[in-house]
Amino acid sequence: MKKLSLLATMILLLNAAHAQFISDAGTNRPLYQIPADIQGSPFLNNNWSDGNIVSENGVNYTKMRLKFDVFRNELVFNINDSAFRFNDPIKEFVLSLPGNKTGGTAKFIKSSLIHSKLPGEFVQELVNGKIALYKHYKKNVVEVASYNLASNKVFEDRLTFYILKNGEAELVTLSKKTLQEVVADKWAQVDAYMQQNNLSSKNESGWTAAITYYNSL
């Protein structure tokens, strides 16, 4: 009986917290609006994704419907088919992205909490360990001119990659030469591993696998 009572109390508390969150979202958080004069999508993924959030105050929000606005560097959430901007300071969030290269989920961390040299508001964590690998998404607005027509504004994607090693952050290009420099002390082992598994040092998946393997040595 005591176990049932405790379970019922926990359910009531969770429901109350969720109800309060919805109430706050409706009164204290502004509605989100997509830029109307720019073609394309400002989002990492145009569809709503299941996701979890950890605020800088240590509050966890789970099983939410989220979109990451890369252009504005802000998180958007869905309540009752309305989109709101999440204004509370966010430490990290995880999005479910079926079919992506990281196994269906993507973890983003506030850049400034990792290193002052990392750009933007958030970076995606690809590898964590002795050497960490991060990916930064950015969307620029460019004007595209058409013959005899007015120019149009469109979103243009830009990706950059950073490593964190010995407490220092560094922008890297995805090449064999750069990878060899990054894992120089164990390059022979990493190189052999990549050849055995037919991995390329010129793409994200190859670098992710190589650094993950390096960290395991």
Same domain, 51 and 147: yes
Same domain, 35 and 120: yes
Same domain, 24 and 80: no
**Domain count along the chain:** 3
Same domain, 63 and 74: yes
Number of Cα atoms under 13 Å in the Cβ half of residue 143? 4
pLDDT (tens digit per residue) in 96-155 = 987 655 558 999 999 999 999 999 999 999 999 999 999 999 998 888 876 666 678 888
Same domain, 162 and 183: no
More confident residue, 37 or 217: 217
Same domain, 11 and 102: no
Same domain, 49 and 146: yes
DSSP 8-state class, residue 43: B
pLDDT (tens digit per residue) in 140-162 = 888 887 666 667 888 889 999 99
- The lowest-confidence range among 48-52, 80-84, 181-185 is 80-84
Same domain, 42 and 120: yes
For the chain, percent of residues with pLDDT exceeding 90 = 61
Residue 38 has pLDDT above 90, yes or no: no
Query: Mutual orientation of helices 187-196 and 204-216 as an angle, nearest 10°?
Result: 130
Q: SS in 3 state form for 84-114?
A: EECCCCEEEEEEECCCCCCCCEEEEEEHHHC
Last residue of a domain, one of 137, 154, 171: 171
How far CA 6 is from CA of 1, 3, 22, 61, 181, in Å, comes to 9, 5, 25, 22, 56
Indicate the pTM of the whole model. Answer: 0.82
Residue 34 has pLDDT above 80, yes or no: no
Same domain, 92 and 180: no
CA distance linking residue 151 with residue 110, whole number of Å? 35
Question: What angle (nearest 5°) sits at the alpha carbon of residue 43, between those of residues 174 and 161?
Answer: 15
Domain span at residue 1? 1-30
